Amino acid sequence: MAEKKNVLDGVTGIDAADSAQNPVCRVAFIGSECYPFVKTGGLGDVMYALPRALIRENVEVRVILPLYRCIPDKYRDKLTYKGSFMMDLCSDGRTFYVGIMETEKDGVIYDFIDNREFFDWGNPYTGLWEDIPKYCYFSKASLAILNYLEWIPDVVHCHDWQAGLVPLYLRTRFNDTPIGRAKSIVTIHNLRFQGICGIEHLKYWTGLPDYLFDYPVFKRNEDEANMFKGGLAYADWITTVSATYAQEIQTPAFGEGLDSHLSYHSPKLCGIVNGIDVEQWDSAADKLLAAPYDVGSVLEKKRENKRALQEKLGLEQDDSKMVLGLISRLTDQKGLDLVDAIFPQLIDGNTQFVVLGTGDSRYENAFRYYEGIHKGTVCAFISYNEGLAHQIYAGADALLVPSLFEPCGLTQLIAMRYGTIPIVRETGGLKDTVQPYDGSAFTGNGFTFDHYNANLLLDAVNAARTLYFTDRVHWDDMVRRDMEKDVSWENSALQYLDLYLKLKG
């Protein structure tokens, strides 16, 4: 037996899998990304943090992921080969290699599915033409490896459309195999992405029976099929990442064409709000910061972090300036056209602006342009940079999240944990996690606006600036209040556990 630390009871010397001798249940997480191996956004954070929160509740968890080429060697080198087999996939019986590479970290087992044909590309997502076959393969292989490993979970917990076919394979090809006794949950992290393609293309790659390609399951219109739609129909339960988004997606404005499908399935739909891993995001122990801090030292140390950030990014070093941060994928979802529309008013002589992100060239170029004309006041860091993200969360005074829609959003949670005041639009999880500042009761965690309108965003920014520059005592109170707010996974992990136990029966 391997010498590993058993996080469940502090005993060393036994495998994590052996250690949970009487786990309350077993759950397989199936998804397309997971920090620290591969992350493009919040899904990667959740796939990392929620399993860690669940093992503290004595749930045994395995996380199943594709072994993408982009996973750094420092992780690949630690993987152990667990076996391989050939798996049939397509309607013409075409078979593919399935390798299993495994590692364990802090009690969570990670099983990577190895297949160079599908996963040897640069990034996880390379366009639907490749992604559809890739995630058909991944969904089926995920169930096949659980049978192969003879580790049969009570629940397969599938994340987003990339794992959307799992419930369908479970109830068809795998129904009479050991894994067939598992129940399935599909969590919607972002309904905008669904895996849509021609019906014949999906029939070929899934090898699934014709009767599934009708309107209640896969069919989208005369020509197209929708992978996620099918998975949602066949899942035993559907969750999404906030209560508000669970309601919103049942309306045409947020349903991305699936609002009536989701309303029909609403008896098995609920929202459970995301948390963050409070060890990963801990300003007091964060080695990436110039000056780590806790709630007692935040006011003094934030100034130091701000100066270090200004220096690093070539901004004027002046801690009397208010620093607004934005850390985001640069896409339409994130409300960046509103930021663009009010940019001239954002830069008022007392405010600096820092954006960290990549995405649509239209936004990348707009922010580069603003940096060019406001040197020393605006920084557009157009890249993905985990370390700089930490430094912005710590060094900024406020963080903008003006999203068009936001299933949950993690950046506002991280900001609060780092004593940075969120300025958000009241949608999805932003509405559920940021209580608006009330200047008469001195309550609240941030500044909010409701309708998707640039003037309302500007009003919210101006309200934040007024408090910051004219009533610092109450601003500072909010900073401390935010740092003390519970943004951990603990509560939500218990809600998932209730759901697992209910499904397990």
Residues of this chain that bind ligand ADP (CB under 6 A): 41-43, 45, 327-329, 356-358, 384-386, 389, 408-411
Distance, in Å, from the CA atom of 26 to the CA atom of 488, rounded to the nearest integer, reads 22
Q: Quick one: what does residue 32 bind among ligand ADP, ligand GLC, none, with the CB cut-off 5 to 8 Å set by partner type? A: none
Question: Structure tokens of 105?
Answer: 């970290």
Residues that bind ligand GLC (CB under 6 A): 41-43, 46, 189-190, 241, 274, 406-410, 429
* One-letter amino acid for residue 90 of the chain: C
Minimum distance, C-beta of residue 253 to ligand GLC, in the bound complex (Å): 16
Which residue number, 62 or 417, has a Cβ lying nearer to ligand ADP?
A: 417
36, 137, 408 from 94: Cα distances, Å: 33, 11, 39
Choose the contact partner of 356 out of ligand GLC, ligand ADP, none; CB within 5 to 8 A by kind.
Answer: ligand ADP
Q: Which of 135, 150, 178 is nearest to 30 (CA)?
A: 135
What's the order of all strands across the beta sheet hosting 155-159?
A: 80-88, 95-105, 108-114, 59-66, 25-30, 155-159, 183-188, 237-240, 269-271
| Residue 358 CB, nearest approach to ligand ADP (Å) | 6
Residues listed for the chain: 505
What DSSP string describes 136-149?
HHHHHHHHHHHHHH
DSSP label at 162? G
Based on CB atoms, which residue is closest to ligand GLC, 115 or 403? 403
Select from ligand ADP, ligand GLC, none the partner in contact with residue 422, using the beta carbon and a kind-dependent cut-off of 5 to 8 Å: none
- Could you give the CA distance from residue 231 to residue 217 in angstroms, rounded to a whole number? 8
Q: How far is the CB of 405 from ligand GLC (least distance, A)?
A: 8
Q: Which does 31 bind (CB under 5 to 8 A by kind): ligand GLC, ligand ADP, none?
A: none
Q: Which does 6 bind (CB under 5 to 8 A by kind): ligand GLC, ligand ADP, none?
A: none
Minimum distance of ligand GLC from residue 492's CB (angstroms): 11
Is the previous residue joined to 407 through a cis bond, with omega within 30 degrees of 0? no
357 touches, from ligand ADP, ligand GLC, none (C-beta below 5 to 8 Å by class)? ligand ADP
CA dist 14 → 4, 20, 139, 146, 247 (Å): 6, 10, 31, 21, 45
* Continuous segment of H or E residues that includes residue 231: helix 227-234
Phi-psi label, residue 83: left if phi above 0, alpha if psi -120 to 50, beta otherwise: left
Minimal distance, residue 185 CB to ligand GLC, in Å:
14
DSSP secondary structure letters along 32-58: S-BTTTB-SSHHHHHHHHHHHHHHTTT
Q: Which is nearer to ligand ADP, 114 or 160 (CB)?
A: 160
Q: Which does 241 bind (CB under 5 to 8 A by kind): ligand ADP, ligand GLC, none?
A: ligand GLC
Using CB distances below 5 to 8 A depending on partner kind, what does residue 100 bind out of ligand ADP, ligand GLC, none? Answer: none
Give me the phi and psi of 407, to 5 degrees please. -50, -50
Binding partner of 386, given ligand ADP, ligand GLC, none, CB within 5-8 angstroms per partner class? ligand ADP
Select 397 or 406, whichever has its Cβ closest to ligand ADP: 406
Q: How far is the CB of 91 from ligand ADP (least distance, A)?
A: 34
Gap between the Cα atoms of 131 and 112, Å rounded: 17
- Name the amino acid, one letter, at 484: E
Closest CB to ligand GLC among residues 172, 411 = 411
Q: Which of ligand ADP, ligand GLC, none binds 346 (CB below 5-8 Å, type-dependent)?
A: none
Number of other CB atoms surrounding residue 223 within 10 Å: 10
H-state helical runs in 438-504: 454-470, 472-484, 490-504
State the minimum distance, in angstroms, from the CB of residue 332 to ligand GLC.
12
Q: What are the distances in angstroms from CA 75 to CA 10, 67, 134, 286, 295?
A: 24, 10, 22, 22, 34
CB closer to ligand ADP out of 19 and 242: 242
Q: Taking CB positions, which residue lies at the least distance from ligand GLC?
A: 42
454 binds, among ligand GLC, ligand ADP, none (CB under 5 to 8 A by kind): none
Strands (E), 288-444: 322-327, 351-356, 378-381, 398-401, 421-425
Using the minimum distance from each CB to ligand ADP, give the nearer residue, 333 or 495: 333
Whichever of 35 and 97 has its CB closer to ligand ADP, that residue is 35
Please give the distance of CA 475 from its chain centroid, rounded to a whole number. 29
Q: How far is the CB of 325 from ligand GLC (least distance, A)?
A: 17
Kindly state the smallest distance separating residue 407's Cβ from ligand ADP, in Å: 7
- What is the nearest approach in angstroms of ligand GLC to the Cβ of residue 408? 4
Give the residue with the Cβ less far from ligand ADP, 63 or 182.
63
Residue number, 35 or 148, with CB nearest to ligand GLC: 35
Report the nearest approach of ligand GLC to the CB of residue 150 (Å): 31
Closest CB to ligand ADP among 170 and 401? 401
